[in-house]
């Protein structure tokens, strides 16, 4: 990856409280478990980001929740409120802010893929040296990462998108291609929005570094997960 001070990761998060996060998962599990899972998603992604070495900013929502985030996560991080009406405007403004600070390359990631691998972010920044934009498609039709160079940033990539639908990635790619941008597509990854997604996360991480994550430990700590069809959980944490 290039010099860390030239790259910036914008980590989009919501404050974990009932009714505001993982609402689809809440209907299949319960609100308490869904919120606690999301808290662990954020913590696991922060662990991954800290290992990368590139500057990152916690782009938080709602705008008045910085105090709560600082009580929870501490004051060592760079906190930036998400500004704007709708997700597209908030992402656009976050990138404008990052480039205004002098970063040459910036990528946005969300908080729905707790096992997202750092090498995908490395790949994104590497290709931004020769490409105008990078994007990582998610299995549900959205994307888990999008990034630009400061000189090729295309704000219209966030306009007119029907967010939270299965056409987000396709529509965004169409906008970027019509603008004749050089695009690098990252490997597909999976957001965790449903119980089926959560089961898939658990099964694909039976080995490897993420097995010892907070998310996996939380799933393991809840015997009730067996009632939701999870396989017998390992006991060697």
Using only C-alpha atoms, what is the Rg of the chain? 18
Give the CA angle between residues 58, 89, 190 to the nearest 5°.
60
Beta strands across the sheet bearing 133-137: 78-81, 56-61, 7-14, 105-109, 143-149, 133-137, 183-185
Residue 5: its pLDDT value, please? Answer: 65
* Coil vs helix vs strand at 203: helix
Q: pLDDT tens for residues 20-73?
A: 999 999 998 889 999 999 999 999 999 999 999 889 999 999 999 999 999 999
| Half-sphere exposure in the Cβ direction for 108 (13 Å, CA) | 26
**Helix, strand, or coil here: 139?**
coil
Amino acid 1: pLDDT? 43
In tens, the pLDDT along 112-162 reads 999 999 999 999 999 999 999 999 999 999 999 999 999 999 999 999 999
**How big is the CA angle at 172 (ends 7 and 131), to the nearest 5 degrees?**
40
State residue 221's pLDDT score: 86
pTM: 0.93
- Give the mean pLDDT of 188-203: 93
- CB atoms under 10 Å from CB of 52, counted, come to 17
Give the residue from 88, 97, 93, 66 showing the smallest Cα distance to 79. 66
Give the model confidence (pLDDT) of 76-103 as tens digits: 999 999 999 999 999 999 999 999 999 9
Please check the confidence at residue 3 and state whether its pLDDT lies above 90.
Answer: no
φ/ψ bin of 117: left (φ > 0), alpha (ψ from -120 to 50), beta (otherwise) = beta
The pLDDT of residue 234: 55
User: Torsion-angle region of residue 80: left (phi > 0), alpha (psi -120 to 50) or beta?
Assistant: beta
Give the pLDDT score at 92.
98
pLDDT of residue 191: 95
Complete DSSP assignment for 49-70: HHHH-S-EEEEEESTT-HHHHH
Residue 68: Cβ within 10 Å count: 14
- Tokens at 117, concatenated: 């691998």
CATH superfamily of the 4-228 domain: Spore Coat Polysaccharide Biosynthesis Protein SpsA; Chain A (3.90.550.10)
Pairing of strands 7-14, 78-81: unpaired
Query: What digits encode the pLDDT tens for the residues 148-186?
Result: 999 999 999 999 999 999 999 999 999 999 999 999 999
* Total count of residues recorded for the chain: 237
pLDDT of residue 2: 47
Domain ranges of the chain: 4-228
Helix H or strand E segment including 121: helix 118-127
- Partners of residue 183 on adjacent β-strands: 133
What pLDDT does 29 receive? Answer: 87
């Amino acid at each position: 990856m290039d010099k860390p001070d030239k790259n910036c990761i914008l980590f989009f998060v919501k404050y974990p409280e009932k009714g505001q996060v993982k609402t689809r998962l809440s209907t299949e599990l319960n609100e308490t478990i869904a919120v606690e899972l999301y808290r662990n998603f954020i913590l696991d992604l922060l662990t991954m980001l800290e290992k990368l070495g590139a500057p990152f900013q916690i782009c938080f929502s709602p705008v008045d929740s910085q105090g709560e985030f600082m009580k929870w996560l501490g004051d060592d991080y760079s906190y930036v409120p998400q500004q704007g009406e709708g997700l597209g405007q908030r992402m656009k403004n976050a990138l404008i802010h990052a480039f205004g600070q002098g970063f040459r390359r910036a990528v946005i990631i969300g908080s729905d893929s707790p096992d997202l691998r750092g090498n995908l972010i490395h790949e994104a920044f590497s290709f931004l040296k020769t490409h105008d934009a990078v994007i990582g498609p998610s299995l549900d039709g959205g994307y888990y990462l999008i990034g630009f160079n400061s000189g090729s940033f295309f704000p219209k990539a966030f306009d007119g998108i029907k967010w939270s639908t299965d056409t987000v990635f396709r529509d965004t790619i169409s906008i970027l291609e019509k603008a004749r941008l050089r695009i690098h597509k990252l490997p597909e990854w999976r957001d965790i929005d449903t119980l089926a997604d959560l089961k898939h996360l658990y099964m694909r991480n039976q080995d490897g570094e993420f097995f010892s994550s907070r998310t996996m430990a939380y799933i393991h700590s809840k015997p009730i997960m067996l009632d939701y069809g999870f396989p017998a959980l390992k006991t060697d944490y």
